[in-house]
Amino acid sequence: MTIRTRVEDYLAMRRALGYRLHAEGRMLLGFADRLDAAGQPTITVSAALAWAIEPKNAAPAHWCRRLGVVRAFARHLHTLDPSCEIPPADLLSGPTHRPTPYIYTAEEVAALVHAAGTIAAPMPSATCHAVISLIAASGLRLGETLALDRADVDLDAAMLTVIGKNQHTRLIPLHPTTAQMLGRYAARRDMLCPATDSASFFLTTNGHRPQPSSLQHTFAKLLVLAEIQTPPGRRRPRIHDLRHTFAVNTLIGWYRSGADVAAHMPILSTFLGHSGGPEATYWYLQATPELLALAAQRLEHDRRTS
């Protein structure tokens, strides 16, 4: 039995239990194909490590994730094949802090949206334009956005049904202008691709659900068109940073309006789909100097008036 067959059986079992494993599945199948092509009958620690760190320009956290995906499968395979080696949990160490996100200005977001509209192919242009606009306006994750089915998008009620991490479902209200934008996209999508069996709200030229890797690849090109530079010593801005930008701008708006940020934080946490609670959302308070300064000023004011 090939490693790929083992992986396919493993993924089928996990998905039957409710796990989606989209990115993890692609990773594992790629790893399995590598082993099968090399004629390796099972997993070794050296092969897993070599594959995990293959993207030389990737962040250590990404290497750890790749190795972790293999480790989970190796534990399963070891029960069937005792010769299978399980990579140790401490073989790779990732960063202990989250890297500073890139916060887009309003002008940069507009430039990205405009650049998406210049893509020559009609459907990729329309889809990329709508995806970037929606993430910037709602703070959704890219995977959540592309996972939206047509039934999840209620344009009349201006509401999205989003399935986030760990299969948690949440309702996301849309600003009227965002709902109108999605309505225009849906009309153009149906005109460009009138016959498709896909339930996906967003489509590719072939009528399939777009893959995150494809959108990320296109986004890298849009950064060049929008003339957005990578800050010195930082990683390249990502489409995921639009989500960070939404969160930071929401917090800045609350501070400037005098709102009780502590009381509002659970709302933002729920909106963003932070299943761990507001603790994960508090990280954004140190995301930018401006936000950190506003938080410090509010704390000092509270101390003086208490």
Residues contacting residue 141 through CB under 8 Å, at least 6 positions apart? 135, 164, 240, 243, 273
Catalytic residue among 22, 26, 236, 240: 240
- Respond yes or no: is residue 274 known to be catalytic: yes
Indicate the pairing of strand 159-163 with strand 169-173.
Answer: antiparallel
- Respond yes or no: is residue 165 known to be catalytic: yes
Token couple for 210: 């777009």
Which residue type does 140 have? L
Catalytic residue among 102, 185, 255, 284: 284
Handedness of CA 234, 238, 240, 245 (dihedral sign): positive
**171 pairs with which residues across the strands?**
161
Q: How far apart are CA 80 and CA 84, in angstroms?
A: 9
Q: How far apart are CA 77 and CA 269, in angstroms?
A: 37
Assess contact for 272 and 140: CB atoms under 8 A.
Answer: no
- Respond yes or no: is residue 284 known to be catalytic: yes
- Output Rg (C-alpha) for the chain, integer angstroms: 22
Catalytic residue among 75, 98, 165, 301: 165
Catalytic residue among 4, 6, 244, 274: 274
Compute CA distances 284 → 132, 235, 248, 262, whole Å.
Answer: 21, 18, 6, 13
Compute CA distances 196 → 87, 160, 275, whole Å.
Answer: 43, 22, 34
Catalytic residue among 71, 243, 244, 255: 243
CB atoms within 10 A of CB 61: 14
Compute CA distances 117 → 23, 120, 139, whole Å.
Answer: 28, 8, 21
Catalytic residues: 141, 165, 240, 243, 274, 284
